[in-house]
Chain A
């Protein structure tokens, strides 16, 4: 008998606000955090993004700590603190002594790396900043979360581009199911609004200059976002013993790889991940109410995801509510799947399905119920959170009401 895993706390920082209350309110209102980048565009042709605005690191960290905290680490710690607090767990408490922290990131400490590269290549200096390595390493956020919250069990980073946060959640769930830990802080973080990274995205020609319109006929690509999403996972027994109220159950995960193309998604690979998640969670497909889609708004993703949902769910596909919250928090890369898992948990907790914002007219190849523009009040018993990364790395997480 595998141990049941519940979500007892959530934390977010994103373009929708610095707290999960702000995140929830924006999702419920269908309000998008996507806006003009201005100076953050670094002179690139990328005109819009979902930026975390009005974030003053000094409000969250001491002068002593800041020199070691890249922006992606700051987001991770801020969201991690909120998740622990909402779970009713104290940093450095007994429970933290054995807890895990698994943090996904697609990019790592790019701000730090790029500042050093600018110094070396552009300014022709010969010296890197002394803290470039510990501040910029992709695992820095995981280490900073452990140091700031006193988490002393298994701590590491996972990276799988846009599925990083979902892979982290899957890993945390498996650690708990195996009995290795009782508590795991999982999630994802990224801060990709750096000059070099924006130039690289610009070159790939997948970023929209309009806004993110998943599943729409006139969609024109993804919109980058930033932030972090964190969740406290706990064995149901551990949560019960300390009288914590679970927000939802993380019932299963399905992981697959396309082993195909580095950027083009595969219907078959996506469908396998969805089917595996249902099987792992022991869910009848007719009982699924809501799917938080990967829904990037790119020409390639949306029809492939739609086709995969048809393939797995058959007739039930048309009864699913399917929405992409990337239309609001943007594609925050490694953080996105974690923000979406939080959105999925909130949909179950509140009985409110977040919409696909910026919706105009559905693409002819996208024929599901995408919950256009307005949130919908509906009890959600079982929901899926889809994440499909570049490189064909797919994760689907199954969440059940408790």
Chain B
């Protein structure tokens, strides 16, 4: 499963929307993911990928693609599992 599929799946669940309606360009605001919900999603992603998302990254996340980008970046930094 790619990072994007996992991220979209988690976001879809939190936003209570079908995953097909969500893509990298979807704005989190538009689907009702506020900062608190975003934090819940990030916690799950940290668990799923075994990474740590630094606090300063949180503010720059606006779109689904932003999360995917950050996760990939962090996974790369961490090296192969």
* CB-CB contacts below 8 Å: B22-60 with A: 36, 39-40, 42-43, 46-47
* CB-CB contacts below 8 Å: B58-78 with A: none
Asked whether, in the complex, the Cβ of A131 is within 8 Å of the Cβ of B36, the reply is yes
- Please name all residues of chain B whose beta carbon is closer than 8 Å to the beta carbon of A130 when the two chains form the complex: 36, 39-40, 42-43
- The main secondary structure of chain B at its interface with chain A is helix
Judged by a CB distance under 8 angstroms, whether A67 is at the interface is yes
- In whole angstroms, how far apart are the Cα atoms of A127 and B47 in the complex? 9
- Please name all residues of chain B whose beta carbon is closer than 8 Å to the beta carbon of A134 when the two chains form the complex: 36
- In whole angstroms, how far apart are the Cα atoms of A6 and B40 in the complex? 44
- Please name all residues of chain A whose beta carbon is closer than 8 Å to the beta carbon of B43 when the two chains form the complex: 127, 129-130
Could you tell me the distance in whole angstroms from the C-beta of B77 to the nearest C-beta in chain A? 19
- The main secondary structure of chain A at its interface with chain B is loop
Could you tell me the distance in whole angstroms from the C-beta of B5 to the nearest C-beta in chain A? 22
Number of interface residues of B (CB under 8 A): 8
- Please name all residues of chain B whose beta carbon is closer than 8 Å to the beta carbon of A284 when the two chains form the complex: none
Asked whether, in the complex, the Cβ of B16 is within 8 Å of the Cβ of A63, the reply is yes
Q: Contacts A67-B40, A134-B36 known; A127 to B16 CB distance under 8 Å?
A: no
- In whole angstroms, how far apart are the Cα atoms of A131 and B14 in the complex? 14
- Please name all residues of chain A whose beta carbon is closer than 8 Å to the beta carbon of B40 when the two chains form the complex: 67, 130-131
- Please name all residues of chain B whose beta carbon is closer than 8 Å to the beta carbon of A64 when the two chains form the complex: 16
- Please name all residues of chain A whose beta carbon is closer than 8 Å to the beta carbon of B36 when the two chains form the complex: 130-131, 134
| Chain A residue with the shortest CB-CB distance to B15 | A64
Chain A 104-143, CB within 8 Å of chain B: the 1/0 string? Answer: 0000000000000000000000010111001000000000
Could you tell me the distance in whole angstroms from the C-beta of B53 to the nearest C-beta in chain A? 12
- In whole angstroms, how far apart are the Cα atoms of A130 and B46 in the complex? 12
- In whole angstroms, how far apart are the Cα atoms of A131 and B43 in the complex? 10
- In whole angstroms, how far apart are the Cα atoms of A53 and B43 in the complex? 33
- Please name all residues of chain A whose beta carbon is closer than 8 Å to the beta carbon of B42 when the two chains form the complex: 130
The 10 A-B pairs at the shortest CB distance, nearest first, are namely A130-B43, A130-B40, A130-B39, A127-B43, A131-B40, A63-B16, A127-B47, A131-B36, A127-B46, A134-B36
Residues of A bordering B, CB below 8 Å: 63-64, 67, 127, 129-131, 134
Residues of B bordering A, CB below 8 Å: 16, 36, 39-40, 42-43, 46-47
Given A67-B40, A134-B36, 5 extra CB contacts under 8 A: A63-B16, A127-B46, A129-B43, A130-B40, A131-B40
